[in-house]
Structure 1
Amino acid sequence: MSRNLIPLSVAATLLGGTAMADVPSVAADIAPVHSLVARVMQGVGEPSLIVAPGASPHEYSLRPSEAAALQEADLVFWIGPDLTPWMADAIDTLTSDANVTELLEVDGATVLPFRENALFEAHAHDDHADGDDHDDHDDHDHEEHADGDDHDEHDHEEHAEEAGHDDHDHEDHAEADGHEGHDHGEHDSHAWLSPDNGAVWLNAIAAQLSAADPDNAGAYFANAAAGREELATLSAEINAILDPVRDRNFIVFHDAYQYFETAFDFPASGAISVSDASDPSPARIAEIQARVAEQGVTCVLSEPQFSPGIVAAVMEGSEANTGVLDPLGSDLEPGQDLYGNVLRSLATALADCL
């Protein structure tokens, strides 16, 4: 595999005391993951972003430059096929020599099961308290929410089978369970919305980079440690933003936020759609409308890429406010600050709407 080798004249220099010789070529799938990798690589190099900002990660056609970035990568960091099923095939085809890290499989990460129902009860995820080998977190009892330690064998969506994962048969599973035709794996893939996962992943990213580039291991681990401190400060800031509105109820457009809800003990009342890849059924919309009326829901939240028509239908006859949540940071500049800004923006949008 080709590498982006740095000229000797540059390799001989130092940037902030960090050697720049033969820095690995690194690719990351979505902007929040790219942001964490960029934080760890600060002062050493820059990762490539595969999924363009604003694009849906579930279905995506690689641009030539993005395919080239994967082909040249020494390391690839991605959430996994539950989020980007098409990328499994791209990785198999383009990155045969790369070290690939699937972040949902990283030891210590919290992985939550999908919620299929339109309506959520407070802390409904506690029903899945089967326990696993994930690390304990001092501030959040996430170990109660992980659904077993066998998630490396979970059933990915039908696209994963096309990508060469012959043992996955989620399509049959979905039909048997009566799902509404949406495609997803067994676990909720929006795990980057937990800052605890972000902290775990910073360490995992530093470890992989250090193994590939031991000369800069000190810089990678120092950056990861600084990033974890920043996330701890951010979590305290977000809790302060949310504290004044914790007694209010809200509805989200699609069920993407339970990691954020769990991390900050701020549960949604329901989701209009189970997935951003499918439209809600009339029955599901009716359930949400009833919940808005019954609970006096204060806020119904949409997302940038969706038509406001469905949200307007849900809100009909109510006095609920509306706002916009953006779990990918579509309007934010990619880079090391994006991850924190995504989480901060979610908290601010919620507080402003509620």
Structure 2
Amino acid sequence: MPLCTTCTKPAEYLYTVYQSESNLRLSQCVACLSFTDPYVEHDLLTIVLDLILLKQGVYRHLLFNRASQPRRVTESNDSASASVDNASDKKIIWKLCVKLGAALIFLDAYIRWSYRYPISASTPAFWTWASDAGLSFIRISIACLIESIAFHAAITLACWIVLSLLKHRTLSSTRQQLRLSHIPLVLFYSSLTKLSLLLLLSIWRPASPSSGSSFGVPESATWYSWVQTVMEAFDEDKLDREWVVRNMLGGMAAGFGLRVALDCHPLFTTGIVVFGWGVKTVVASFVRAWVDGAGGDGLDSQRWITYSIP
């Protein structure tokens, strides 16, 4: 049964279709009086942007309302179509996990590979795929697949334990509709935030700040030294931007997605994410030696672990 993206109240249907697929009317939630799911009319770009911006409504739309059947005025029996949809719900979720996971793992592998073999302006693009670079990309892709499986398995196990502990409490509408197959889907959706920023950082690398640049402020100013000290802390040689995006932002996005899906206290989702980090770090420590076997000029072992945490 679909849920309201605003208040999670169950609804019979999201919209009504009249003469054609383009002639529809959104249903209104009986609890909050807002549209049950306004994302029905939104395009893919808007949905992706809201995923990157971590909005609760888009998670509820993608997890619980994506495959919901509309109410058709020409149909006399709407329950038959709903039963078929519920029967095939699990298969649809797992197929979507495989497709989305394959695309995101490939993107993550390319981002990590770009740090190992950066492309300079004087180097032809095709040269980077020659010899050991291509083999390194294959190894990194396999390593990303192994780490993703370990991370998702650990998170799913932790979510199952948390849901078992909370089963004696009153089930919310969200947890009644939640299935374990939704957990990997939530993690893939949450990873769009960090991967989009990491892709931008891999393409447009920040330039080193020029020395003596004071932006027109006299260096004799009493407050300028304090401002300069704070700004220098964000330099690339002192602050690893990729580590911040992959670990801090990625962990916050994963915790937010799990918070929406599980509908539990943030302490539970924090513990789940930390447990997943630990399992993935252990797996990365075994995988890094095999990845580094592709060549000695790539990332060192500690840096590979740094980039492999979700």
TM-score over 0.5 (shorter chain): no
Higher Rg:
2
Structure number having the greater strand percentage:
1
More helix by share: 2
RCO higher in 1 or 2 (8 Å CA, sep ≥ 6)? 2
Aligning the two structures, in what range does the TM-score lie when normalised by the shorter sequence?
under 0.3
